[in-house]
Amino acid sequence: MNDPLPRTILLVDTERYSDRDDVQQAFLRRMLYDVVDRTLLAAGIDQTLRLRADRGDAIMELIDPNAPLTTLLRTLLTEVPAQLRAVNRLAAASAQIRLRAVLATGYVAVDEFDGWVGSDLNHACRLLDGEPLKQALRERTDDYALCVSEPVYAGIVRHHHTGIPAEEFSPVTMPGKNGPLGAWLYGPLPKGGPAPEPEGDSGAGTGAAAATRSANVINGGQFGGVNHGINGGTFHGDIRLGGGDRR
């Protein structure tokens, strides 16, 4: 396995994808690719600066850490909602696309099988699958919910850079394999009371390479433990994602 390298991690998932028929799913995938590609290009991140893994209802991007994280976050706050408004105003009710996204940083290795290995990636996947983020999207009318990892908040958000309103991020806690994972949700908190304070890095996971043990294989990805997919599921094991599309 190659040495892990610092990466910016962007995960984007489509809500209620499995509820649609095949034609609608094909349309949603085209729209997902279009929204993500346009957003990354608007942030100055072309295909030479990223690797992509296709997960059907979701896209996972490993982005060169030299691409400015501040610019990417600012673009995620503005360009994705604009893209979704443009797409959904022309789409039928059955083809509306709603997205939740996670922006994180960390170390990820790409192995000889183009698999992605790293506990920081595991943590990002669990943030994407966390109930607070899902509930936030269910309650919103703007078709988009975004959260950032604690390192992104500490390094970027809290410094009040232009176009990144720190006061609009709130702490939430996502369930994790080895304990809760802290994150910061952009926009209104889900109803049902205030979110618990994040508890920092819980050290979840002992390395994604452990996913090679007792793992299920889906599209080249290995998911250890009990897992039910990115969309609507819960990850209870370390993750090794394969089949990354170099773009």
Instruction: Please report the DSSP string for 62-124 in residue order.
Output: EE-TTS-HHHHHHHHHHHHHHHHHHHHTTS-GGG---EEEEEEEEEEEE-TTS-EE-HHHHHH
- Residue 20 pLDDT: 78
| Alpha-carbon span 241 to 121, nearest angstrom | 9
pLDDT number for residue 191:
86
Q: Residues 183, 172: contact at Cβ < 8 Å?
A: yes
Residue 192 has a pLDDT of 55
pLDDT recorded at residue 1? 66
Q: For the domain 5-246, what is the CATH superfamily, name and number?
A: Nucleotide cyclase, GGDEF domain (3.30.70.1230)
pLDDT (tens digit, 9 = 90+) per residue, 131-188? 999 999 999 988 999 999 999 999 999 999 999 999 999 999 988 777 899 999 999 9
Provide the CB-side half-sphere exposure for 197 (13 A, CA): 2
pLDDT of 7 reads 97
Question: Which residues in the chain come in under a pLDDT of 50?
Answer: 193-247
Give the Cα separation of 226 and 176 in Å (integer): 13
Domain map of the chain by residue range? 5-246
CA dist 1 and 16 (Å) reads 35
